[in-house]
Amino acid sequence: MKKFTLAASLFAGAIVLALPAKAETLRLLTWGGYAPDNVIELFEKETGHKVEVTLSNNEEMIAKLRATGGGGFDLAQPSQDRIAGAQAEFDIYKPIDLSKIDASLFIDSMLESTKANTTLDGAVYGVPHVWGTDGLVLNTAQAGMVKDYIDLCSDAVAGKVSYRLKRPTLIAFAFSMDMDPFAAYGDQAKYEEILSKVEAKLVECKKNVKTYWGGGDEITNLLRSGEVIAAMAWDTGGWKLNAENPDITFVAPSSGALGWVDTFALPKRGRADEAAYAWINFVMRPDIAAMITAAAGNFTASKGGDAGVDEALKARYQASFPPEAIENINWYPPVPAGLETLEGAVLDRVNAAN
Amino acid sequence: MTGDRSRLTMILLMAPLLIWLTALIFIPHAEMFLVSMREKVGVRQYEFGFANYATFFNEPLYWNTFVRTALMSVAATALTLVIGFPVAYYIAKMTRGRSKTILFLLCLIPFWVSELVRTYGWMILLRESGLFSGLLQYVGLASQPIEFLYNDAAIMVGLVYTSMLFMVVPLVTTLDSLDDSMIEAGYDLGGTGVSIWREIVIPHAMPGIVSGCIVVFMLSLGNYLTPILLGGKDSLWFTGLIYTQFITRFNWEQGAAFGFLLLALSSFIVWAGLKLSGQTLSRTMGR
């Protein structure tokens, strides 16, 4: 019996030892541009792990993981504000083992704030990867008068405006109307009051809107063709268009751009943690981070990752974000569970209004 | 002994169908029904109740969209029938041999690409910087770009185009089976064009009309892509609401309730359509 136990433990030990060397398949649930082919190729060559990419967005990531109870993927990249609430509600992630992450690769302040924002019951569920902002993408030759989100409702740009019908728009308009929705996150009555004012504004503004955009390519097309001249959109879309047409660019609105951080989070039933940690530590290396910035158009939380970035992109970034505009960025705090139901009802009513 | 064996054969032959029905239709629907009966009372806490169905009836927005979707689907079905019938009649009765095959193929070809591609095709034609707008300006009928997209008419065009084939095929089949001599006899007996259509062609084609209408109606009611892409900011379609509840609101309970309401609505309208036209399901689908 003893002999058997010994043999069994030796055997088990051998398996454990063999594990790190075993090639795993990393099923990555991410955004467009965050896992470019050249990076995947380098990673596969270096570690022997395989990478399968599925492109998605915040809501779909949560919906997909919820449907499988956190299975089907080994690493997901939701925004930091959408982790704690989703975890409390649906239990779809597992805590991150911070000892397996090379903290020296991260910009300290970003790592700390993301850890704080994604902590639930003492466990950390996310570390930062890519960050960027929501703001205004304008054709400055025709819509130069738009300075803030609320100017999208002015007659000068009637019929040539686009934004998403999603929660960032509600938040943006609230800030633009001199209210602070983030401060009201904890106070439901106050938040509802803010939402009702924003709802009235968005209903009034609807006649100005050409269409509500859904995906990044859609809004890029609308701006490129000139069918839309002022939009609320991601900074990277504005910079991409700026390279083609110098009139179009990203402008940080006067009430402040909305800052988001996309993270790494481990789905609860992921099977390739080893590969997931390897991927995180790999893509946070400054040289790889620069490659991702080149593909996604957004900067990363990698320390020194901006050094290798193309000068033209840096110039666009600096033109859109003078130092005071960076100070002015409103970073999304974690969304409390249940808040989205209120926002959903508002968005539905705006959608139905004439 | 032989009785047992034939029963066993029968059961074995039925098995794939039964497994299919149970595993892929019955169980998911039962599960979905249970989800729709869950009331959310707090984080990870649920109670049994009708709250999700109550929400539908208390919020005018939801049933307005529901009614709108139904009415537009009925209109799309009628329009498809009006456009599809002459096409089917022409293919079945006026052409022979090769040209018949070619015409049939022409109806079929658009369906070789996916619905998404077809819808994007329409977007390219209809958008402000698109083909139609450019053509009108070129001819001089318009002085500035015109937006054809993002309205109900665009949705209608998309729906009719998407479901045309499903109307034409059953119509061609039933019209094919109509003996030409019956039409000739109608003329011989002094019938006019109109009375022959009313008393010979349409009654004969009725099962085809009804089955075509049922399929087209179901496809329109359950369509998601076309209304969302072509309708833009004014696309209020019930499937869109279901999608939002499931995906962006994480409210599966509400989405499931909406799904069942849509199922009930489509079943009811099909039933009403059959009753009104005096047809039965077995007659229309059995042919």
pLDDT of residue A38: 94
User: Would you call B149 an interface residue with chain A, using a CB distance cutoff of 8 Å?
Assistant: yes
Do A204 and A230 reside in the same domain of the chain? yes
End-to-end CA distance of chain A: 79
Q: Are residues A216 and A250 in the same domain?
A: yes
- Per the CB < 8 A criterion, the answer to whether B209 and B81 are in contact is yes
Residue A20 has pLDDT above 80, yes or no: no
pLDDT at A15: 46
**Residue A10 scores a pLDDT above 70:** no
**pLDDT for B127-178, tens place per residue?**
888 888 889 989 988 888 888 888 889 999 999 998 999 999 999 999 988 8
**What pLDDT score was predicted for residue B251?**
85
Q: How confident is the model at residue A176 (pLDDT cuts 50, 70, 90)?
A: very high
Q: Is A127 helix (H, G, I), strand (E, B) or coil?
A: strand
**A76, A166: one domain:** no
Q: Do B232 and A210 touch (CB under 8 A)?
A: yes
Q: Which residues pair with A55 in a beta bridge?
A: A30
Q: Is residue A5 part of a domain?
A: no
Identify the CA nearest to B72 among candidates B160, B164, B161, B167.
Answer: B160
Residue A220 lies in a domain: yes
Residue A21: pLDDT band (50, 70, 90) is low
A140 shares its domain with A248: yes
pLDDT for position A137: 95
Interface check A89 vs B, CB under 8 A: yes
Residues of A in contact with B56 (CB under 8 A): none
Distance between CA atoms of A241 and A250, rounded to whole angstroms? 9
CA distances from A340 to A310, B52, B142 (A): 38, 17, 45
Token digits for B127?
Answer: 């958008």
Antiparallel, parallel or unpaired: β B45-48 and B38-42:
antiparallel
Do A142 and A234 share a domain, yes or no? yes
Smallest Cβ distance to B247: which of A63, A89, A351?
A: A63
pLDDT tens-place string over residues B32-71: 999 999 887 777 778 888 888 998 998 888 888 999 999 9
| pLDDT recorded at residue B286 | 57
Lowest mean pLDDT among A33-42, B166-175, B268-277: B268-277
Query: Is B65 in CB contact (< 8 Å) with chain A?
Result: yes
B154 half-sphere exposure, CB direction, 13 A CA radius: 28
d(CA A264, CA B173): 57
At residue A13 the predicted structure's pLDDT band, cuts being 50, 70 and 90, is very low
Number of Cβ within a 10 Å radius of residue A241: 21
Examine the domain organization and report whether A161 and A245 are in the same domain. yes
Contacts A–B by Cβ distance under 8 A? 65
Cβ <8 Å between B248 and A349: no
Establish if A52 belongs to a structural domain. yes
Whether A48 is covered by a domain: the verdict is yes
The answer to whether position A312 is within a domain reads: yes
B66-286 to CATH, choices 1.10.300.10, 1.10.3720.10, 1.10.10.60, 2.60.40.3080: 1.10.3720.10
The answer to whether the CB atoms of A66 and B250 lie below 8 A apart is yes
Residue A17 has a pLDDT of 45
B246 touches chain A (CB under 8 A): yes
Q: What are the phi and psi torsion angles at A135 (to 5°)?
A: -160, -145
Domain ranges of chain B: 66-286
- Using a CB–CB cutoff of 8 Å, tell me whether B134 touches chain A: no
Q: With an 8 Å Cβ cutoff, is B61 touching chain A?
A: yes
Give the residues across from A106 on adjacent strands.
Answer: A302
Full-model pTM: 0.82
ipTM of this complex > 0.85? no
Nearest CA in chain A to B128: A227
Query: Roughly how many angstroms between the first and final C-alpha of chain B, as a whole number?
Result: 35
The total domain count for chain A is 2
CATH number of the domain encompassing residue A101:
3.40.190.10
Average pLDDT of the segment spanning A264-289: 94
Residue A217 forms contact with B (CB below 8 Å): no
Touching check for B70 and chain A: CB below 8 Å?
no
Full residue range of the structural domain in which residue A276 is found: 24-126+265-321
pLDDT at B282 over 80: no
Check CB contact under 8 Å for B249 and A341.
yes
Indicate if the alpha-carbon torsion angle A158, A163, A166, A172 is positive or negative.
negative
pLDDT above 90 for B212? yes
> What percentage of chain A has pLDDT greater than the value 70?
94
Judge: A341–B248 Cβ closer than 8 Å, yes or no.
no
Q: Is the pLDDT of residue A28 over 60?
A: yes
A213 SS3 class:
coil
Closest-CA residue of chain A to B248 = A59
Q: What is the per-residue pLDDT for A2?
A: 46
Q: Which of A61, A68, A223, A227 to mutate: most B Cβ within 10 Å?
A: A227
CA–CA gap between residue A151 and residue A140 (Å, rounded): 13
Q: What is the DSSP string of B192-247?
A: -HHHHIIIIIHHHHHHHHHHHHHHHHHHHHT--HHHHHHHGGG---HHHHHHIIII
What pLDDT does residue A106 have? 93
Region B176-195: what's the mean pLDDT?
88
Mean pLDDT of B11-16: 89
Count CB atoms within 10 A of the CB of residue B34.
12
Measuring CA to CA, which residue among A235, A294, A266, A221 is closest to residue A37?
A294
pLDDT in tens, A65-111: 999 999 999 999 999 999 998 998 899 999 999 999 999 999 988 89
The yes-or-no verdict on residue B123 having pLDDT over 60 is: yes
Average pLDDT over residues A331-349: 86
Location of structure tokens 């609308």: A222
| Same domain flag for A213 and A341 | yes
- Banded model confidence at residue A336, pLDDT cuts 50, 70, 90: confident
| A222 and A348 belong to one structural domain | yes
How far does B162 lie from chain A, in Å, by closest CA?
22
